[in-house]
């Protein structure tokens, strides 16, 4: 097993591993084995969501792992609710599926619906210790700042699309100013734009004896971005954790900066058609 993963400290003092294991798009029937393998490889930070429909499998893997609960950092997410007052019901359902007494981080999954009512319910979950930290996902700076200014608890985390082709450096700086930790989803851009054969990333990897995936993860974590790569292959899981024995140079970081297109490779939460589609998937 690799050395313990470096931690970041959230705005309420909670410690969060800067590198975790994400289970988005892992089918429920494969998730228990994937999380079991990830925990065996050394991951102690697991990221799931109600909308992924695999919380139960995550919970089973945690239960049989024998790892003390306090050594794990578990994140799940609240989907858009038809009635925002159902936030506690949705949280309790997630907790039951996970088989846990609390989660370490609970996120609003989308910046849609009556998320202010949802957030105030989540603030109460935080006060009760049921969610050690609360945060958001997919919030652009305008919505993030408005939420901060109109609620009591500042989000601990904003989990957003962040990868070499959409680097979000201005968003990260704004989050830093407000005490919000940036977290990446889609760190490998799901291989889009031929990421895994990109000449710049490959050359930097060769200079350090690392793969392109390892370069991307080191680039993210060296920037202070929390990353949650997904894999179903144990050897790849171990490789993804093995990134903290190198330091990218300023010149290498600058070269990666030139890859930024400033645009999403997936979808824009400000697109009316996308807003309508996401709202149509309520109560996932």
pLDDT tens-digit readout, 226-251? 999 999 999 999 999 999 999 999 99
Position 59 in a domain: yes
pLDDT tens-digit readout, 22-52? 999 999 999 999 999 999 999 999 999 999 9
Averaged pLDDT, 152-170: 98
**CATH code (residue 149):** 3.20.20.100
Is 109 annotated as belonging to a binding site?
yes
Name the pTM for this structure: 0.96
Position 284 in a domain: no
Number of domains in the chain: 1
On the CB side of 41, CA atoms within 13 Å amount to: 24
Separation between Cα atoms, residue 123 and residue 132, nearest integer Å: 10
Is 52 designated active site?
yes
pLDDT tens-digit readout, 108-146? 999 999 999 999 999 999 999 999 999 999 999 999 999
Position 143 in a domain: yes
Position 110 in a domain: yes
Position 131 in a domain: yes
Show the domain range for 233: 7-279
Of the candidates 54, 269, 55, the residue with the CA atom closest to the CA atom of residue 158: 269
Position 258 in a domain: yes
**Phi first, then psi: what are they for 205, rounded to 5°?**
-60, -45
pLDDT at site 268: 86
Position 2 in a domain: no
Written as one string, the DSSP assignment of 113-180 is: SSHHHHHHHHHHHHHTTSEEEEEEES--HHHHHHHHHTSSSPPSEEEEE-BTTB--HHHHHHHHHHT-
What lies within 8 Å, CB to CB, of 166 at 6+ separation is: 189, 260, 261, 262, 263, 264, 265
Residue of 43, 52, 106, 115 marked active site: 52
């Amino acid at each position: 097993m690799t050395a313990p993963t470096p931690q970041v400290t959230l705005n309420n003092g909670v410690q969060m591993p800067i590198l975790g294991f994400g289970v988005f798009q892992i089918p429920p029937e494969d998730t228990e084995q994937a999380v079991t393998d990830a925990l065996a490889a050394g991951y102690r930070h697991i990221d799931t969501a109600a909308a992924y429909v695999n919380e139960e499998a995550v919970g089973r893997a945690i239960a049989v792992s024998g790892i003390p609960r306090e050594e794990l950092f578990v994140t799940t997410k609240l989907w858009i609710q038809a009635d925002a007052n159902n936030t506690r019901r949705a949280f309790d359902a997630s907790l039951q599926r996970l088989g846990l007494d609390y989660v370490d981080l609970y996120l609003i999954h989308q910046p849609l619906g009556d998320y202010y009512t949802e957030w105030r319910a989540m603030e109460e979950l935080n006060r009760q210790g049921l969610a050690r930290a609360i945060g958001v996902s997919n919030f652009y700076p305008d919505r993030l700042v408005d939420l901060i200014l109109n609620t009591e608890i500042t989000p601990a985390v904003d989990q957003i699309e962040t990868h070499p082709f959409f680097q979000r450096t201005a968003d990260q700086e704004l989050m830093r100013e407000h005490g919000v930790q940036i977290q990446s989803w889609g760190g490998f851009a799901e291989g889009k734009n031929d990421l895994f054969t990109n000449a710049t990333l490959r050359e930097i990897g060769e200079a350090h004896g690392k793969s392109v995936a390892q370069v991307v993860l080191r680039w993210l974590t060296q920037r202070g971005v929390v990353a949650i790569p997904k894999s179903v292959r144990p050897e790849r899981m171990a490789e993804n954790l093995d990134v903290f024995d190198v330091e990218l140079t300023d010149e290498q970081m600058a070269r990666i900066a030139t890859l930024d297109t400033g645009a999403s490779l997936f979808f824009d939460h400000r697109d009316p058609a996308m807003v309508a589609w996401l709202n149509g998937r309520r109560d996932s």
